[in-house]
Structure 1
Amino acid sequence: MSQYIHKSHDVSVLLYHFVCPVKYRRAILRPERVDNKLKETCIEISKRYEIRFLEIGTDKDHVHFLIQSVPMYGAKKIIQIVKSITARKIFQDCPEVKEQLWGGEFWSDGYFVNTVGQHGNENSIINYIKKQGIKNYRQLHTQQLTLV
């Protein structure tokens, strides 16, 4: 379960479920190298920003993120940070991906976001992410969250 984030002027539990499709819905998330780079980059993002990845799961052409953050980051800002940094790192370290996505963009322009309630909905979303495309699904990361 996620925990309350205590700041000097607020206490919050803000959870978001994002689904981000790869550009052209290309099935490029299967190579372990791409999956691992995505996970590493998300962990780096957690260290730089107050964005914590509670669950990351990939299907062959899209990624599910369960993210906890603070009120100063809205959903739009969170996904801008995540998509821009992960795309840059994947293109730097996996040049074969850039060749498959000839437009120079890793992610599609759109995304799905849903707020997640802490006491019932969070576990349902985690289970949903884990069961998404079971045949092709791969859990990249799960973390019990503690923000200071």
Structure 2
Amino acid sequence: MVNIKHGRGYVYAIEYHIVWCVKYQHKILVEELDVRLKEILLKIASDYAFTISEMESDKDHIHLLVECTPQHAIPSMIKVLKGISARLLFKEFPHLKKKLGDGHLWNPSYFIATASEHTEEQIRKYIQDQKVK
């Protein structure tokens, strides 16, 4: 169920299903890079006061279920998640820049959908099942 939260003068329950891909769909989100990416994304979410309640990758893309306040602007959240994660991963895994050629980790586009209480469990199951094939 969606968590109902309270702000100053308002009540809300906001969740987004967010997906973005590695540039050129290179299948690099494996092993230690995959683990490190998830650690970085959780830290970013904590630093910027939103919650990643589910997260899974499938070698060339990542799925997130994000809970946030009405004050969080989607483009800003995406920019922060993709920008900081790319910078830190390039720093920690220098071979990535050579593999990707142009020095961009993420495809510039992304998918986002709102999650209602009726679809939240379906999205959670989909994200959790990404590695179970």
Q: Do these two structures clear the TM 0.5 threshold for a shared fold by scoring above it?
A: yes
Could you tell me how far apart the structure 1 residues matched to 2:100 and 2:55 are?
22
| 1:115 alignment partner in structure 2 | 114
Instruction: Please state how far the C-alpha of 1:49 moved relative to its aligned partner.
Output: 0.9
User: Compared with structure 1, are the counterparts of its residues 33 and 76 closer, same or farther at alpha carbon in structure 2 (3 Å cutoff)?
Assistant: same
| 2:124 alignment partner in structure 1 | 126
Could you tell me how far apart the structure 2 residues matched to 1:24 and 1:133 are?
21
What amino acid is aligned across from residue 115 of structure 1 in structure 2? T
What amino acid is aligned across from residue 32 of structure 2 in structure 1? R
Could you tell me how far apart the structure 2 residues matched to 1:35 and 1:65 are?
14
| 2:4 alignment partner in structure 1 | 4
Higher helix share: 2
Could you tell me how far apart the structure 2 residues matched to 1:90 and 1:46 are?
16
Between the aligned residues of both structures, percent identity stands at: 35
SS in 2 for 1:29: coil
Instruction: Please state how far the C-alpha of 1:2 moved relative to its aligned partner.
Output: 4.2
Taking the TM superposition and a 5 Å limit, the aligned residue runs for 1:55-66 are 55-66=54-65
Q: Runs ≥4 in structure 1, deviation > 6 angstroms?
A: none
Could you tell me how far apart the structure 2 residues matched to 1:28 and 1:15 are?
27
What amino acid is aligned across from residue 125 of structure 1 in structure 2? I
Instruction: Please state how far the C-alpha of 1:114 moved relative to its aligned partner.
Output: 0.5
User: Compared with structure 1, are the counterparts of its residues 27 and 129 closer, same or farther at alpha carbon in structure 2 (3 Å cutoff)?
Assistant: same
**Runs of 5+ in structure 2 lacking a partner?**
none
| 1:146 alignment partner in structure 2 | none
Could you tell me how far apart the structure 2 residues matched to 1:92 and 1:2 are?
37
Residues 53 and 67 in structure 1, CA contact (< 8 A), matched pair in contact too:
yes
SS in 2 for 1:97: helix
Could you tell me how far apart the structure 1 residues matched to 2:48 and 2:5 are?
14
Could you tell me how far apart the structure 1 residues matched to 2:53 and 2:40 are?
14
| 2:28 alignment partner in structure 1 | 28
Could you tell me how far apart the structure 1 residues matched to 2:65 and 2:96 are?
24
Could you tell me how far apart the structure 1 residues matched to 2:131 and 2:36 are?
21
Could you tell me how far apart the structure 2 residues matched to 1:40 and 1:2 are?
24
Could you tell me how far apart the structure 1 residues matched to 2:15 and 2:99 are?
33
**Runs of 5+ in structure 1 lacking a partner?**
136-148
| 1:145 alignment partner in structure 2 | none
The aligned length equals 133
Q: Report the aligned-residue RMSD.
A: 1.5
